Structure 1
Amino acid sequence: MTFCVKAEKTILCSRGCGFHGTPNNNNLCSLCYKAFLIEEEEAKKNVTVATLSGGMSSLTLDDDSGKTEDVDSTIMKIKQRCMICKKKVGLIGFSCRCEGGMFCRVHRYPEEHACTFDFRSIGRVNLAKENRLCKVDKLENRI
C-alpha cells in the first residue's frame, strides 16, 4: 500500500521577502525568523536595563546604530603607511619594538629605520632567565 501525503499549502513569508514561511516560525522564512529572534532578544535586554535602573529619576535609551557607522567609517579611512618612505603597507606592515610605527618590507629591519631599541640587552636578559647558573657542591660528603 502506498500513501500519498498531500503537500501543505505553501505560505509566503509574512515579511514579504519572497521565500516560503512555516506556521512553526510564525509564517516567517528561516532568515526572517532568525532576525525576529534577535530583535526579541534586544527588546528583552532593553526591558531589563529599564527595570534595573528603575531607581533612577530618568532613563534614556540611545540608538547607537548611527554612531557605530560613523566610527566604522573613520576607522576604515585610516591608512597605514611606512614611517620612512610613506608607502602604503596595508595588511603586511611591520611594527617595530622601538614604537616607531609601521614599516614597509624594505624598512622593517632595525638598520634600515635607525631603530633605537636595544635588542642586545633584551637578549641577554632572556638568556640569563633561560640558562640559570648551575653550581655543584665541591665536597661530596658534606654534613
Structure 2
Amino acid sequence: MEHDETGCQPPPEGPDTETRTSQTCRIINREHRQWIIERNEQESVVADAATVQTDLVEAKAISLPLINTSGSAEAAEPKTKEGPNRCSTCKKRVGLTGFKCRCGDLFCGSHRYSDKHDCPFDYRTAGRDAIAKANPVVKAEKLDRI
C-alpha cells in the first residue's frame, strides 16, 4: 500500500539485479579506477611499441641514386595538356565541370562530345571488343552421326 501512495515501485526481484549500497558503489568505483589505470598502461605500451617500429622503418630507408636508362623517352613524350582545368579545344577554363573524354583530354560542356572535338578514340573497335568480351562464342561439340 505504501508504494501505491508514494508513487515508488519496489526494486525488481531476481538474481541479475544488483542493489546499490554505499559499499558496492565503493567496490565498483575501485574496480573502475583500476581498469582505467590498466588501460592507460596498455595504451602507453602500444604507443611505445609503435614509436620503436617507426624508428626501425626510418632507419631502413636508404636513398639510392636514380639511374635514368631511358633519357630519350622523356624527350619523345611532349606535354599535351596546357593546364589542369582548361578545355583542350577552346582553352576555356572549366574548373570542376570539365568532362574527361576517352581520348584522355579534358573538355568544356560544348566540346565534350566526340564529334565536336575530333576525337581520335576508335569507339567502333572498343564497342566490338566489349561485346566480344561480354558474349563469348559458344560452339556445340560435333556429334557423331549414327
State the TM-score bracket (shorter-chain normalisation).
0.3 to 0.5
**Structure with bigger gyration radius:** 2
Q: In proportion to residue count, which structure has more helix?
A: 2
| Alignment TM-score, normalising by the size of structure 2 | 0.42
| Alignment TM-score, normalising by the size of structure 1 | 0.42
